[in-house]
Amino acid sequence: MADANTKAKTASKSTRTRKSAAASEALAQALATAPVQYIPVNRLVKSPLNVRTIPYPADSVASLADSINAVGLLQNLVAHDMPDGFHGVAAGGRRLAALNLLTERGIYTGEKTVPVKVVPEELALAASMIENGERRDMHPAEQIVGFRTLAAKGKTPAQIGDMFGYSSRHVQRCLKLTNLAPSLLDALAKDELTLEQCQALVLEDDQARQVQIRDSLKQQYGNMPFPAALIKSRIVEKEIPASSPLFRFVGAEAYQAAGHALRTDLFSMDDEGYADRAVVESLALARLEEEAKRIQQGEGWAWSEFRLDKVSNWGPDTRTYELTYLIPDYTPEEETEMAELAAAIDVAETHDDEYALQQRIEDIEAQAFLRLLTPELVSTHGVVVSLDEGEFYVQRGVLRVADVKAKAEGSQDNVTSIRSDASAKQEKADAFPATVVQALSSERTLAVQAALALQPKVAVALLAWTFSQQVFNGIRQGINPLKASLTCPHWSLTRNAPSGEGGKAWLALCARRDDYLTRFPADWKDSFTWLLAWPDEDISALLGFCVAWGIDGVQERLYGRTDRSPLDGLEAALDFDLRDWWQPTAAGYFSKISRPQICASLADAGCTGPARDAEKMKKGDAAELAQAQIAATRWVPDWMCRPQPEATATEQADHTDHTETDHAA
């Protein structure tokens, strides 16, 4: 009788690289020495070690049952002992299903005996995987489950790979996929997800977010397949690839020296990975700032700026800068030498020779360019240092539009741009990562909205003032947080704010919105006339709530500087205190800033002792300490608060000094 587990393979997998002689010989020896036993069908069950977890197609089982009924069972089953006298079939599950079908049809009885070879339990899983692997490629979901079972028994990826003829890399990738959420693993088994999609999903360690991303894309695409690259982009939307010019400019060493590590996975090549975009941008800006200052001091420019993108001669940059195109005037001797050098490059035999000749041309160009930098030019113009394809890009002789206007009007007082003065004071928020500023200003906006919704008089006054500017002045002037068209995207606010949709401010806004909806008539969208029956104070309250809904105070980082918050004046009118709506936590704030900034926050809150303790801690522990200590205070980051009158600020400083409790390390 043929033995299914010792047949020669008909085809080899492309991923198969080697096979352990020891594992194969152990199984072969066990099968060779095990006698064929004839066991009743009703004493056979599918083994939990059988890797074939996906149900067999009904037509396949029925066809095999017909074949067995016609010519008998040509291949023995492979099983192992189980409790209560049963035998678990590890190899031959489809044959067992066909035998059970014959029993159900009444063709066989439960006492019908069939040939079985019994092997030790420790070899049963190997027998199942080898047989199924030889018959046809196992489904990836079955490989994942099988490899996971062996790994749980202490087998290494190399041992598992040797046992079944797979590379250890292939086994490692399958084991990585065991971190898939159970529902996603089921979807893979049902072919509702592809292997490539699952490989992208396990980039995210949080199983709940894995499911969220998949469900979101499924809702967006319906029954249409969505690319694995789109999954990856959702997961790493706040990251950049290590292959990007920006990361290459910063360098892996500088990134790691800053306390960060590249995020890689088993499906990435050696030179791939992802880095935190905000951290990389911050490190890049630090290099750019250093270079800008060096050039300014070395060449004597009136001012210097640094940014990620070079100044453009079109678009928004034209409202801020004027580019000066400096055309060098070469001497006859320089022109002659440059022509000779260019001709020599054409016949250069080595790259080194070509590089040396090109460097000499660039030296001549630099000398001619420096002659254009007259004292008058450098005293009124500046230099901007940015990036271009991962390299320094220097733009000299840049003029600020605001400076031109100020000179024409004869007074610097008329310069309205906050960046027009080279010595303008930077926003406090500039010291923090742009992503943190965006997230916390979103949180602050939600809190101001919730507070404004409780004071309709202030909201209506803001609305009247906004419309008055357009009616009586023709344009809007000054800093105004109200978007009268009510285009404030709450989806982005709740996505960016650390508290998300569970924050106190957002829940208060939603509760008030739901209360209004219960008071609206069923046809409220058709006409406004139903509002005419409302009391004036109720209409004012509704209008105030709608105004609050349109507030947008999110701060953005542009050219290395943070916009001034438009919420300051509104908060003063509301007598607003952010601490009533939000408090900083380790996850929502302290873990996103540097350890020195955590220590400074503790000291600013009056917790000087814990601040000293935090200096000796790891960042994560310092963040938890800050959360615990500051929870008992009314402290919030000063860059998230409106500027206070000097007297008030002094009083608060005095109060902090007197109420501070020191803490010994």
10 Å Cβ neighbour count for 62?
A: 15
Q: Is 535 exposed, middle or buried (0-12, 13-18, 19+ CB in 10 A)?
A: exposed
10 Å Cβ neighbour count for 24?
A: 17
Instruction: Provide CB contacts within 8 A for 578, sequence distance 6+.
Output: 444, 447, 636, 640, 641
Query: What are the pLDDT digits (tens) for 566-595?
Result: 888 888 888 888 888 888 999 888 988 888
Report the percent of the chain where pLDDT is more than 70.
77
Model confidence at 130, in pLDDT bands (50, 70, 90)? low
Identify the CA nearest to 145 among candidates 172, 174, 168. Answer: 174
pLDDT of residue 150 exceeding 90, the answer is no
The pLDDT value given to residue 657: 44
Strands (E), 524-654: 557-558, 561-562
Strands (E), 67-138: 77-81, 87-91, 113-118
Cβ atoms 642, 572 nearer than 8 A:
yes
Query: What are the pLDDT digits (tens) for 17-35?
Result: 344 445 556 666 666 677 8
In this structure, are strands 382-388 and 391-400 parallel, antiparallel, or unpaired?
Answer: antiparallel
Q: Is 348 helix (H, G, I), strand (E, B) or coil?
A: coil
Where do we find the tokens 């009391």?
535
Cα→Cα distances 365→310, 377, 386, Å: 21, 19, 21
* Alpha helix positions (H), 550-645: 568-574, 595-604, 608-614, 619-630
Identify the CA nearest to 595 among candidates 613, 576, 575, 574. Answer: 613
Which amino acid is residue 277, in one-letter code?
R
Strand partners, 387: 392
The pLDDT value given to residue 136: 45
Instruction: Provide CB contacts within 8 A for 270, sequence distance 6+.
Output: none
User: In this structure, what token pair is assigned to residue 77?
Assistant: 């089953």
> What does pLDDT average to over the chain?
77
Q: Quickly list DSSP for 237-288.
A: TTEEETTSHHHHHH-HHHHHHTT---B--TTS-TT--EEEHHHHHHHHHHHH
Can you name the CATH fold of 4-178? 3.90.1530
Of 139-148, 213-222, 262-271, 578-587, the one with minimum mean pLDDT is 262-271
All structural domains of the chain with their residue ranges: 4-178, 282-429, 431-658
pLDDT of residue 402 exceeding 90, the answer is no
Whole-number Å distance between alpha carbons of 454 and 433: 32
Q: Does pTM surpass 0.95?
A: no
The pLDDT value given to residue 51: 62
**Exposure letters 94-113 (e unless 16+ CB within 10 A, then b):** bbbbbbbbbbeeeebeeebe
Model confidence at 482, in pLDDT bands (50, 70, 90)? low
Strand partners, 145: none
pLDDT of residue 457 exceeding 80, the answer is no
Query: What are the pLDDT digits (tens) for 307-358?
Result: 988 888 777 788 888 887 777 778 888 888 988 998 898 888 888 888 889 8
**Exposure letters 209-235 (e unless 16+ CB within 10 A, then b):** ebbebbeebeeeeeeeebebeebbebb
Cα→Cα distances 267→97, 160, 287, Å: 37, 19, 32
**Exposure letters 379-388 (e unless 16+ CB within 10 A, then b):** ebbbbbbbbe
The angle at the Cα of 315, spanning 312 to 321, to the nearest 5 degrees, equals 55
The pLDDT value given to residue 645: 63
Mean pLDDT of 648-655: 47
Model confidence at 655, in pLDDT bands (50, 70, 90)? very low
Cα→Cα distances 358→119, 328, 345, 347, Å: 76, 17, 7, 13
Of 333-342, 481-490, 509-518, the one with minimum mean pLDDT is 481-490
Identify the CA nearest to 5 among candidates 20, 15, 25. Answer: 25
The pLDDT value given to residue 498: 84
State the distance between the two ends of the chain, measured CA to CA, in whole angstroms: 79
Cβ atoms 338, 315 nearer than 8 A:
no
Where do we find the tokens 């990620």?
308
CA contacts within 13 A on the Cβ side of 132: 26
pLDDT of residue 622 exceeding 80, the answer is yes
The pLDDT value given to residue 55: 73
DSSP 471: I
